[in-house]
Structures are given as structure tokens and as C-alpha cells.
Amino acid sequence: MTTWRDHIDVLYDAETIKRRIAELGAQITRDLAGRSPIFVGILKGSVPFFADLIRAVDLPVQCEFMGISSYGDDTESSGVVQITYDLTKTIEGQDVVLVEDIVDTGLSMQYLLASMATRRPRSVRVCTLLEKPDNARVKIPLDYVGFRIPNEFVIGYGLDYAGKYRNLPFIGVYRGPT
């Protein structure tokens, strides 16, 4: 019998993700030594990554979230970005680490960085779990990248297809019916 699980090919298993996040956390800890950065998680996709990343960072971090909608239920980027949930405190003069699940065309991150800049933080770094360099439509400075992946639609570990599969502990390529 075929189940939903048969439509997903594992790309990075839970162990591999965990190891990579430990490296990213150590790097951020070194780069921001002596600081108390604000980590801004981009909802909803970054939630599992955000939760694991902050625990891999050995600094007194603060947590904030921003909600943006850019995709709908589609597998193609619309380029239309809207803030659906905003920061609850000022980031002026602070070191910010934006935490994103995936940078695909880069349009969402471009919008977010512009929005951050108007709030006059001391610094902004971008940490994304995944990057699809082949699909980039704008050049975004990415400070920390978990994995660079080919131009395939991935799900799991925060990433959804039509709202589902965010809870998978691994990252996989979705090959199911669309």
C-alpha cells in the first residue's frame, strides 16, 4: 500500500541537520562574542531550525519573530511579500540575526532586510538553513548557510507543502501529487 511517506525522498536526515546546526551555532558564537544578539525567526518555516539553532549558540540571545507570507499554497515564488506578524520590541542599536528556513529567489529576504534597515539595528546577519543558489533572482548577502541545495521543492523540518509536513524531523524532496 502506498502512503504519503512514499512521496518523500530524504535529503538530509535528523543527525546531519543536528551536526550542521552545531557548526553554525559555534560560528555565530565566535562571530558575536561579547554581544547579546536578537534572533529573529521568520514564521512559520524557521520554527524547528530556530529552536535548535538558539540552543547551539553560547550567548545570551533574545528571541523575536516576524511573520511574512510569500508563497500561498503554491510551489512557485510569487515575489509578493507581506508582513503578517511584526517584532514586539525595538531592535535599534542591536545585533540582529535573521533566521530563515530557505532562501530561494531571495525576494522575501530582500524585503526583510529593507524592513530591518529602517529600524536602525547595529548589525544584521542572515542565517538560513537552506539556499537554492540556482533560483536566485536577487543577490542577498547570506552570512550563514546550512546547506546549498539544487532547485527542487523540499519539505520537512519546518518547510511545508500546502501547510503540511513541517513536523518531519528530516528534510526531503516532495515528489507527490501536486
Q: Which positions are annotated as active-site residues?
A: 104
159 binds ligand 5GP (CB under 6 A): yes
Can you read off the three cell numbers belonging to residue 70? 510569500
Distances (CA, A) of 164 to 54, 99, 107, 156: 24, 21, 23, 9
171 binds ligand 5GP (CB under 6 A): no
147 binds ligand 5GP (CB under 6 A): no
Give the residue from 73, 29, 24, 68 showing the smallest Cα distance to 50.
24
Q: Give the count of residues interacting with ligand 5GP (CB under 6 A).
A: 20
**Contact letters for ligand 5GP, residues 58-97 (x by CB under 6 A):** ------------xx-----x--------------------
List CB contacts of 19: < 8 A, sequence separation 6 or more.
Answer: none
Closer Cβ to ligand 5GP, 28 or 109, answer by number: 109
CB 130 within 8 A of CB 103: yes
Binding residues vs ligand 5GP (CB under 6 A): 45, 70-71, 77, 100-109, 153-155, 159-161
